[in-house]
Each structure stands twice: as structure tokens, then as C-alpha cells.
Chains A and B, each alone.
Chain A
Amino acid sequence: MIENTTCVRLFRADPFTETYNVRILVYMKENMIPKILTAFKKAFRGMLRSLPLIVIVVLLISLLKTFIATDSLVRFFGYSIFIDTLLGAGLGSILAGNSINSYIIGSELLSAGVPFAAVASFLAAWVIVGIAQLPAEVAQLGIRFALLRAAAGFFLSVGLGLLLYFFFGAGLL
């Protein structure tokens, strides 16, 4: 009996609740929907402004992928651990594309006898630095920020490679 009364109270057409619901709907129609539409308009405009830069980066990546033969990278290595690590970070910064490509190239470099530190720095620089993306980063986030970030990323990759080599050794693999 008590439950029935509660149900009736809950679902009864309460004039106050109805007015309140209508008010919420009107508020949403008048305030929320125009705000959402404006937000999407601004977002689309921002994306349109960035589209030329994205096209440039895509073209740069395709140029690098087509004209730099990744299977001949081994010939760049063969000096001391430190220089090889620097070279690994340098190559990783220049080459671009999906990270899975860096894993394949990295494992090929390892099997060809390239030091573990160089391969680790190559893997890190591939995802952290990205010279091909630099023009877009400069245009969107400023030259000082982009160059500082790339430089810090390069040294971080070298540091990571050397740290992994000296503290954990090639036995980590």
C-alpha cells in the first residue's frame, strides 16, 4: 500500500515539476545549444587553419620515407658507444612514421651488431623529437618552444640510451 502511494507520488503530473522541466528544456535550447554550436564552429575554424600545416608534415614524412632507405642505416654506425648513441638519436629524429617501423628497424640494427644504447636512443628519438613535424610545431606553438622541446628531446633520447646501457646493460633485451 505504501509502495503504491510512493509510485503515485513519483509519477503524478506535478505542475511544479512540469514547469521546472520545461524551464530546463528552454534554458538548454536558448543557452546550451548555441554555445555548443559556437564551440564546434570555432573548433572547425581552428582545424581548417591548421590543415595546410598538417598537409606539409604529411608530405615531408612521405618524402623522407621514400628517399631515405632504412635498410642501409647500419653503415652509419660503428664508432664508440657515445658517438653511436648520438647517431642513433640523430637518425631517430630525422626518420618519421609509425612507431612500429622504428621497432622493426631497431631490431634489425641490433641484429646487425649496432650497440644497444644507440638502438634505445634511436627508438626514443623517433617518438620524442620528429624533425618532420617541426615546421608545424613552430607555426602552432612558437619557434622557441618547438626548438627547446626538440633539443631537450634529443638529449633525453641520448641520456635514455646511455642510462639503459650503463645501468641495465645489453642483458635487458
Chain B
Amino acid sequence: MKNEKNKEEWGSDRRDRSSRSGQSGQSGQSGQSGREKGNKGTGKQPLVSPVSFILIAVILSVLVFLSFIDPKGTVQVLKMAGGLFLRIIPVLLVVVIFMAAANLVPLSVLKKHLGSRSGTRGLMIAVFAGTLSHGPVHAWYPFLSDLREKGVSNGKIAAFLYARAVKIPLLAAMAFYFGISFTIIFSGLIILSSFFLGKLFESLG
């Protein structure tokens, strides 16, 4: 009885996997290679990559060196870093929700709307999302890397990152310091250039 149940589960798992490989619109072999890549990208990677490990070592040695030269400054750096980190925690939680939502969206849908063949409409979506995105940019990198693994093109990611230069909540502050006409022209030019730079990155591949 138990064996039968296990067999059924295996069957459903295999069906599920075969339907997923079918979604990517590839042949069986390439679908499988995609799956292997996906497993490699999500399940088996270590939590701290070698690059992060080296960077942490460099930053820590700089901080230790600075603590001998300027102990007060080093304490200030650590305090400021703690405050900054606490401020970005809510943004990180929002980004986790976005990442989970992206995991639920079928790959074919993501590729259709944000892949390299999505064209102008895809770039417009990326620019629009970039202007609406909130919080520090480094909180968004994991989400963007995740999207790229799912087939979103470099052009869309570049357009998203450039369009983030338009800060909608801070437009009023910008208008206060530099005037309304400067704010409108500056933001308009940034949106236009993010669109064209996105196209440039798309053509570069």
C-alpha cells in the first residue's frame, strides 16, 4: 500500500517536472539541461559565495586597520552601518515577497513579457517598474539576479536599474531645491535614457 502511494507520488512528480520542461518551450533535452541549471542555481549553492567571503575579509581588515588609526571614526562607521541595515530590513522583506511571486510566475510568461524578444513593451514595463521600485538598490540585486536566471534579458534589468534614478517620493524635495522645470526635464531625460540604454544593452546581449 505504502509502495503504491510512493509510486503515485513519483508519477505526479515526474508529470509535474515534464510539464515544467514543456513550459519552457524547449525540446526534452534542453528542458532537462535547463532544469539542471535551475537546481544548480537554487539548491546546491553555498550560502556564502567565495566572492562575498573575499569582500568581507577585505572590508573587515580595512575596519581593523582604521580602528587603530581612528577608533572614534570606526565606531561611528559601525553605528551608521547598524542604523542603515535596520532601515533596509523592511525593503528586504518586500523584496523576498517579490522573489517568491516571481518563483510562482511560469517561466514562459516571464520570458514572453520580459525576455529578449519582448521588445519595446518589455522595456516599458521594466522602466515603469524601476520608477516605482523603492528602497536602496543593493536590496534589489538578489531579485534581479533571480529574474535573470529565469530568462529576463540584460536590457530589461539595465533599464530597471537606470529608471530607479527617478525617485517619485522625492520629486517634491527635488523641486524645492532646484525648481519644478528642472525636476520635470531631469526626470523625463532619465526615463528616456533608461529606455534607450536598455535597448543598447539588449543589442549587446
Contact = CB atoms under 8 A, between A and B. Distances in A.
A binds B: yes
Nearest to B70: A67
A139 B63 CA distance: 21
A130 to B, nearest CB: 6
Interface in B133-156: 136-139, 141-142, 144-146, 148, 154
The B interface, classified by DSSP as helix, strand, loop or mixed, is helix
Nearest to B53: A52
A36 B145 contact: no
A103 B137 contact: no
A44 B42 CA distance: 11
A135 B144 CA distance: 15
B197 A123 contact: no
A160 B186 contact: yes
B139 A54 contact: yes
A172 B182 contact: yes
Contact of B165 (A50, A62, A128): A128
Contact of A124 (B52, B95, B190): B190
B146 to A, nearest CB: 6
Measured as residues with beta carbon below 8 angstroms from the partner, the interface class of chain A is 35 or more
Interface string B88-112: 1000100111011101100000000
18 contacts: A43-B100, A47-B142, A49-B45, A53-B55, A54-B88, A54-B92, A54-B138, A56-B56, A61-B81, A127-B164, A128-B165, A130-B137, A133-B137, A140-B144, A149-B162, A156-B162, A164-B186, A172-B182
B100 to A, nearest CB: 4
A65 to B, nearest CB: 6
Interface residues of B, number: 67
Contact of B154 (A50, A57, A145, A172): A145
Contacts of A104: 177
A141 B186 contact: no
Contacts of A138: 51
A59 B79 CA distance: 10
A39 to B, nearest CB: 4
Contact of B59 (A56, A128, A133): A56
B1 interface: no
Interface in B24-47: 42, 45, 47
Nearest to A149: B158
A48 interface: yes
Nearest to A108: B177
Given A62-B80, A66-B77, A53 B52 contact: yes
Interface string A81-125: 000000000000000000110011011000000000000100110
A49 B142 contact: yes
Interface in B142-189: 142, 144-146, 148, 154, 157-158, 161-162, 164-165, 167, 170, 173-174, 177-179, 181-182, 185-186, 189
A71 B92 CA distance: 32
Given A36-B100, A54-B92, A172 B185 contact: yes
Contact of B56 (A52, A128, A133, A137): A52
A41 B88 CA distance: 20
A2 B99 CA distance: 51
Given A66-B80, A127-B167, A49 B47 contact: yes
